[in-house]
Amino acid sequence: MAAIHITDIEAAINYWREKKPSPDGVTLAPELRALAEVYALMVFHHEEEAAEQGFPAAAYAAWKAWYDTTPDTPCIAICSTSQGDADCKGCGRSFEEVQRWPEMSPGEKRQTWRRITLQGDAWRFNRYKERAREDVAAASGAARDDEVKNDAAKDAAAKEAPSQGSPKS
């Protein structure tokens, strides 16, 4: 059974706080009230997740509006499940999750996103960040190398150029 994690409800609350700020510091938009009620009950009962089925309609609609602003899939177009891996090295989803993704509910998709984010071992979360850092470092190093070469070339050209006397008036 799919569940919506409290951090997703917090994110939806913050989304609606920015989208529809309180006019007087006390009044809440209807979407915020609906989400706040669910959030308060979760905190009171020490729950981290609320079942997607049975979620109050107004709160679910507000959560879904936030959800629709998030990336749909963790795919980075490097799918090792097509090569026989049980879990994709690119995004971290299992073969079954990759296959079922189009039919999964928003709650199921968010549960998958949360799991792969917490694991953080898919290339989406590490290899490409490392490569990006390496590319930046290499680019800045190459720029410094080019700058040194240009300076050296200018120095060499200045030494080879014949000295010209003062300009004639």
DSSP secondary structure letter of residue 104 = S
Q: Dump pLDDT digits (tens) for 23-59.
A: 998 999 999 999 999 999 999 999 999 999 989 999 9
Q: Are 93 and 116 in contact (CB under 8 A)?
A: yes
Q: Are 3 and 50 in contact (CB under 8 A)?
A: yes
Q: Are 56 and 38 in contact (CB under 8 A)?
A: yes
pTM check: above 0.75: no
Q: Which long-range contacts (CB under 8 A, 24 or more apart) does 80-86 make?
A: none
Question: Which residue is associated with the tokens 């529809």?
Answer: 20
